[in-house]
Structure 1
Amino acid sequence: MHYLLEKLQKDHRNLEKILDLLTSQLDHFLAGRESDFDLKIELLEYMEAYADQGHHPLENVMFSAAKSRVADRADLMDRLIQQHQELAQLTRTFRNSLENIYQGGVMPRDELEVQGREFIALQRQHIDLEEQEAFPLLDEMLEEQDWAGIIDQSPSHADPVFDKPDKIRFQTLFDYLSRAGKQGASPVA
């Protein structure tokens, strides 16, 4: 498997950790238990800062480059690119809702739950579609010259939590992950 696909799979494992943590925080909030709004907002900021600005643009370059090689599955590549735009909009909408509540705004819990559950479910479905259908197809169909072109066009964007930590911007997230690590607990417990 090409190293770019391996990198994207690693990103997916990290994104799944973020989605697990967000699910846990959302469950706590909706059950009326203590929930950390700073953490939830930082989780969405991370999704915007990395998934929407680094991870998905790299995939878009790959999917666009692959369309001519996978003509019978070009619709899959187009669908994934379109999903990236939709997921970015869902991220912004959900983050804005969380920030509004944090700043004293009013929103019915069931409306927030629908936004949160939809966001998480669609992110997971998207990751599954890429892992199960797109990545194996890319690995099989793309050749070295294709990968060289993809590398030349690829955005350079480091993961601000898992690769090049930005401990100022994501302080609440780092504190949470650090506490969970010291307690030997899962970061989503």
Structure 2
Amino acid sequence: MRQQSHDCLKIQSTGWGIDMHSFLEKLHKDHGNLEKILALLSLQLDHFFAGRESNFDLKIELMEYLETYADQGHHPLENLIFNTARKHLDADQQELMDRLQSQHESLVQLTRKFRQSLENVLQGGVMPRDELEVQGREFVALQRQHLDLEESEAFPLIDSVMTAEDWREVAANIPAHDDPVFESPDKVRFYNLFEYLSNAE
């Protein structure tokens, strides 16, 4: 992030109840956490599809985290920022915002579908292993492609066009939604995930 725009992004506090330097820094940090979750999910899928021991409860908690925070907290904040930036963008740049917001909607459906598939298998339902693998691999790949597109194109563009007034508008409308793993830990709901992260440290 360039220094000349950094001062425009200074925020004293947010609906999350935490201090942070900028919304873009917050989103970048979220992306780092999401990469950790996707890497762990990918590892668990590798174990399962190779016939090795795999923790289904952990996989379902990973999907619940993505539903609870990525889809309900992180993406709504990005959508708010994308919409605020639109007035500064040309047609091609607005198309990029449209594409990302459309991906947000698609990822909600893919997350729910794969979580339900995992829960069905855990409860004794019958589903071809190769079909479950295709769902899982596609989900992880699309999530990573989406994060890469935001990091490489959307965030630098937003950083270059957003004004201090734009960021005040974002701050006034920010969705209040805590991260239940990395900010406001819910160690009951995400017991298996916290156990894994604790043992990995």
Q: Aligned partners of 2:73, 2:97: CA distance in 1, in Å?
A: 18
The 5-angstrom pairing of residues 45-84 of structure 1 reads 45-72=64-91, 73-84=93-104
Determine helix, strand or coil for the equivalent of 1:29: helix
Q: Aligned partners of 2:60, 2:116: CA distance in 1, in Å?
A: 9
- 1:46-104 superposed Cα distances (whole Å, 9 cap, x missing partner): 00000000000000000111111112300001111110000010000000000000000
Alpha carbon RMSD of aligned pairs, Å?
0.7
Structure 1 equivalent of residue 121 of structure 2:
101
- 1:81-134 superposed Cα distances (whole Å, 9 cap, x missing partner): 110000010000000000000000011111001000000000000000000000
TM-score in terms of structure 2 length: 0.89
Structure 2 equivalent of residue 112 of structure 1:
132
Determine helix, strand or coil for the equivalent of 2:184: coil
Counterpart of 2:181 (choices 148, 161, 164) is 161
Structure 2 equivalent of residue 142 of structure 1:
162
Q: Aligned partners of 1:82, 1:49: CA distance in 2, in Å?
A: 19
Counterpart of 2:112 (choices 92, 108, 123) is 92
How many residues were matched structurally? 181
Segments of 5+ residues of structure 2 without an aligned counterpart are 2-8, 10-21
Structure 2 equivalent of residue 35 of structure 1:
54
Percent identity, please: 66
TM-score in terms of structure 1 length: 0.94
Counterpart of 1:173 (choices 185, 190, 193) is 193
Q: Aligned partners of 2:125, 2:139: CA distance in 1, in Å?
A: 20
Segments of 5+ residues of structure 1 without an aligned counterpart are 182-189
Determine helix, strand or coil for the equivalent of 1:62: helix
Counterpart code for 2:112: R
Where in structure 1 do 4 or more consecutive aligned residues deviate above 4 Å? none
Counterpart code for 2:50: A
Counterpart code for 1:126: H
- Whether 1:10 aligns to 2:25 is no
Counterpart code for 1:178: S
Counterpart code for 1:25: Q
- Whether 1:123 aligns to 2:143 is yes
Counterpart code for 1:114: V
